[in-house]
Each structure stands twice: as C-alpha cells, then as structure tokens.
Amino acid sequence: MIFTDIKINTNLNIIVKQKSEELQFHSKVVSVLNDKVLIDAIRMDGKAVKLSSSPNIRIDIMACPAGEAPYMFTNVLVKMTRHNGRLAYQVTALKRGKKVNRRAAERIFLGVKGNIQLGINKSNFDVVVKDISQTGFSFAASRNLIDAVDMPVKLRFKDDYDMIDIVGRIVRKTVLDDKKVIYGCQLLINKDSYQRYVLNKEKVYTEKMKASKNGYFSPAKRNLMRALKER
C-alpha cells in the first residue's frame, strides 16, 4: 500500500522515536488530495504538538484501515500545516507500507468479564476477555461453538470506567478441555474510541514495566516529551 491510498478517517498510530525512547499517539486522516495526506494534530495537555521531522526524531505511522490488516510506514516526513483552520500534519511516506502480521500487534492481557453476541440478533453468553490488540482480541468461554471460524461476534466488556463494544470475526479456535475454549478474533470495525483505549492500555503497560525496572521515567523520555511540547 502507498500512503496516498489511505482513506479519510482511517485510524493511525503515530510512533515517535528518539534513540531508545518511544512515544505513541492516536490520530486519523482528515484529507487526501493528490499526493498530500493531512492528519489530525496530536494534543498533549490540551495543546497541539508541533510535530515535524528532524535528524534526531524518527516518525513511523501504522495505518489501521477498517476490516483490514494494518500497514506500517517507516521514517515518514512530517511538516506542520493547517486544515479548515485547525493545526494538522502533512505526511509524506517515501516507501510503501508493509502489512503488519496480526500477531505482530502487541497484545495486552486483560482477564476481565465480558459478553459475546453471535452474529446479528443471535444468542449471547458470558466470557472472559483474554487479551486485546490494535487488530484483534481473544476470549475464553465454556461453550464449544460449532463452525466457529469466520463467525461474526460482538464483544462488550467494562474495564474500570471504560465500556468497550467491538465487532470482529473468529479466525481460530483452541479447545483446551471440555470446559474451556479460546477464540481468537480479527477486528472488523475499528472505532476511534477502541484505538484510544488500546493505546492507553499499551502506554500504561509500558510505563509500568519501565517504572518497575527503573523506578521512574527515564531522563531521555522526559526530554522527548518536553521536546515535543516545546517544538
């Protein structure tokens, strides 16, 4: 895929890297005109980040088209512009995007209770949400569904204050025993709210791991966050 093939409102994950430090943000495409792709500006502490390419900062973008595998565009060029009076970024990708394998998307373990609805207006039953990612999710259930693969499902669960509704299709089934079956699902409808939820979970998980290892935010990460705010 080339970057200009991306459609308006496609969800994007922006990965900003400086040496070993990395920050991730959510955005979406707001305009595609000829060879120009404009995306929403990132906001930190209520203010738009003046993001632009530089020799010290590398910017990668993962595009997540609805119902498709995501594509990764590495080392893109970004410059500030305006769209309909709002701050935006003009993005140019010099290389084609590479399709990201479903398993390459980082999965976050949840272990919370949820409810699955099969197909449209069909039966529903309680499950345990095993893990989630930007491209899919899995759940554990006591029911062994016949002809489960390719079956559409709607998952609803609550995690603290977040009520999540997502739609996917079952792509694999693993029978552990007669009382537990694991179903892996590909995401079909990629909502902004879900992407923000996953990115926040990834951020919390990453920071907890680093905090437990280092006991604090590294000076390099503090500097990167400060640099983005001050640009």
Give which of 79, 70, 130, 94 is closest to 3, Cα–Cα. 94
In this predicted structure, the answer to whether residue 192 has a pLDDT above a threshold of 70 is yes
Last residue of a domain, one of 100, 133, 149: 100
- pLDDT, residue 141, reads 93
Last residue of a domain, one of 51, 72, 100: 100
42-46, 94-98, 210-214: which range is least confident on average? 210-214
28 lies in the same domain as 116: no
Residue 147 lies in a domain: yes
Q: Looking at the 3D structure of the chain, how many domains does it have?
A: 2
Residue 225 lies in a domain: no
**What CATH number does residue 170 fall under?**
2.40.10.220
**What CATH number does residue 23 fall under?**
2.30.110.10
Mean pLDDT of the chain, nearest integer:
82
- pLDDT, residue 51, reads 84
Q: Which residue has the higher pLDDT, 208 or 122?
A: 122
Residue 171 lies in a domain: yes
Residue-wise pLDDT tens digits, 127-171: 999 999 888 899 999 998 888 888 899 999 998 888 999 988 898
β-bridge mates for residue 182, sequence order: 140, 174
Residue 203 lies in a domain: no
153 lies in the same domain as 177: yes
113 lies in the same domain as 180: yes
Cα torsion 114, 168, 22, 201 to 10°: value is -10
Last residue of a domain, one of 77, 100, 123: 100
Identify the domain containing residue 91 by its residue range.
Answer: 3-100
Query: Which pTM does this prediction carry?
Result: 0.54
86 lies in the same domain as 20: yes
173 lies in the same domain as 143: yes
Amino acid identity, residue 153?
A: V
95 lies in the same domain as 184: no
How many whole angstroms separate alpha carbon 217 and alpha carbon 208? Answer: 10
Q: Percent of the chain at pLDDT above 70? A: 83
Residue 168 lies in a domain: yes
Work out whether strand 108-118 and strand 77-83 pair parallel, antiparallel, or are unpaired: unpaired
Residue-wise pLDDT tens digits, 71-121: 899 999 999 999 888 889 999 998 999 887 654 567 788 889 999 998 766
Residue 202 lies in a domain: no
Give which of 108, 119, 132 is closest to 205, Cα–Cα. 108
Q: Percent of the chain at pLDDT above 90? A: 27
How many whole angstroms separate alpha carbon 26 and alpha carbon 88? Answer: 13
In this predicted structure, the answer to whether residue 207 has a pLDDT above a threshold of 70 is no
